[in-house]
Chain A
Amino acid sequence: MLEIRRDLVEAIIAHARRDHPDEACGIVAGPIGSDRPERFVPMANAERSTTFYRFDSMEQLKVWREMDDRDEEPVVIYHSHTSTEAYPSRTDIAYASEPNAHYVLVSTREELDEPDVRSYRIVDGEVSEEEVRIVAGAE
């Protein structure tokens, strides 16, 4: 299960909407081992593509070093699908490289009234969907 504050979910959705029709991507960092997403970090999609995303390598180094300094890890890794459903694609599964992360997918496809937000664990090539529990919290 992913438990996440409403303001973080709204920030993720706003980012996905802003970058549509390109895929948006980023992380929510939290204290190592806590499983608590706390700090929203939208990232640039270096591919700037409607069907692919990749964190810019230098931005990723900066963000990962920052997390290291703060004893954090990427609790959520999110990206958007702009014309397909919020389910991990074969490439999403193949490149999932943070075994402890919750992989959050947002679909901004136009048939939807509201973007769809779902969360998954992806470990050793296996995908399992999990409940997203949205909670209120300090803004």
Chain B
Amino acid sequence: MSIEVRIPTILRQYTGGAKAVEGTGDTLAALIDDLESRHPGLRQRLVDDGGLRRFVNVYLNDEDVRFLDGLKTQVSDGDSVTVLPAVAGG
């Protein structure tokens, strides 16, 4: 089973510079845990005590997972997950 996860520039320090990595899992949470096992430090950039970090956007195929089930969103083989840090400020 393999899910492609596209990684933004600012997080490529955890993936040895790779713009995309592969992982497995039934849910987004499980997928992130799987990625953490090979790319330590990545999870804490995506997740905090409250769940998915507020200023990180995670998309499953064409949808923002905030509008699906957040970390519990189910993922399957062949899905593509994209991570984009929110662009924001004041």
A residues contacting B by CB (< 8 A) are 23, 25, 27, 47, 51-55, 57-58, 60-61, 64, 77, 79, 88-89, 91-92, 95-100
B residues contacting A by CB (< 8 A) are 8-10, 55, 57, 59, 62, 64, 66, 82, 84-90
**25 A–B pairs (Cβ distance < 8 Å), ordered by A:** A23-B90, A53-B88, A53-B89, A54-B88, A55-B86, A55-B87, A55-B88, A57-B59, A57-B84, A60-B84, A60-B87, A77-B87, A79-B89, A88-B89, A92-B89, A92-B90, A95-B85, A96-B89, A97-B10, A97-B85, A98-B9, A98-B85, A98-B87, A99-B10, A100-B9
CB-defined contacts of B59 to chain A, threshold 8 Å: 57, 61
A58's nearest neighbour on chain B, judged by CB, is B64
Is A97 within 8 A of B90, CB to CB?
Answer: no
CA distance A55 to B84 in the complex (A): 11
CA distance A54 to B66 in the complex (A): 15
A-B contact count (CB 8 A): 65
CB-defined contacts of A27 to chain B, threshold 8 Å: 87
CA distance A11 to B3 in the complex (A): 40
- A interface, over-half SS: mixed
Q: What's the nearest-Cβ distance from chain B to residue A60, in Å?
A: 6
CB-defined contacts of A25 to chain B, threshold 8 Å: 87
Is B9 within 8 A of A51, CB to CB?
Answer: no
Known: A57-B57, A61-B59, A99-B9. A91 touches B89 (CB 8 A): yes
A43's nearest neighbour on chain B, judged by CB, is B87
CA distance A99 to B55 in the complex (A): 16
B57's nearest neighbour on chain A, judged by CB, is A57
CB-defined contacts of A89 to chain B, threshold 8 Å: 89-90
Q: What's the nearest-Cβ distance from chain A to residue B7, in Å?
A: 12
CA distance A77 to B89 in the complex (A): 11
Q: What's the nearest-Cβ distance from chain B to residue A27, in Å?
A: 8
B87's nearest neighbour on chain A, judged by CB, is A55
Q: What's the nearest-Cβ distance from chain B to residue A86, in Å?
A: 13
9 A-B pairs closest in CB distance: A97-B85, A92-B89, A54-B88, A91-B90, A55-B87, A52-B90, A57-B57, A95-B88, A57-B64
